[in-house]
Amino acid sequence: MKDTPYPCRSLCGACCIAPSITSPIPGMPDGKPAGVACVQLDAEFRCRLFGKPDRPAFCVSLRPSMEMCGNNRGDASAYLGSLEIATRP
């Protein structure tokens, strides 16, 4: 059976807020700290750079999954927050 892609939930945005991003983002030249909303996140929690070449590679590689997204935004924030602590240098 072919895997069906896990759908990104609307009005979530947890993965554009919880993780730190170390590469430049248009409008955030030094990337962003953990827990800060990306400036490219619009009011509907969608990425303004989606499908554009200047979307950071980190974001392109981050795919929705049950493990990351959980059942709600709180699950996703908790998972991404724990990952952030685990990968802190």
List contacts with ligand SF4 (CB under 6 A).
8-9, 12-16, 25, 38, 40-41, 47, 49, 55-56, 59, 64, 68-69, 76
When the beta carbons of 34 and 55 are compared against ligand SF4, the nearer one is 55
When the beta carbons of 28 and 88 are compared against ligand SF4, the nearer one is 28
When the beta carbons of 44 and 69 are compared against ligand SF4, the nearer one is 69
In whole angstroms, the minimum distance from the beta carbon of 85 to ligand SF4 comes to 17
Strands (E), 1-89: none
Closest CA to 82 of 14, 32, 13: 14
Contact 39, 28 (CB under 8 A): yes
Contact 80, 19 (CB under 8 A): yes
SS3 52: coil
In whole angstroms, the minimum distance from the beta carbon of 60 to ligand SF4 comes to 8
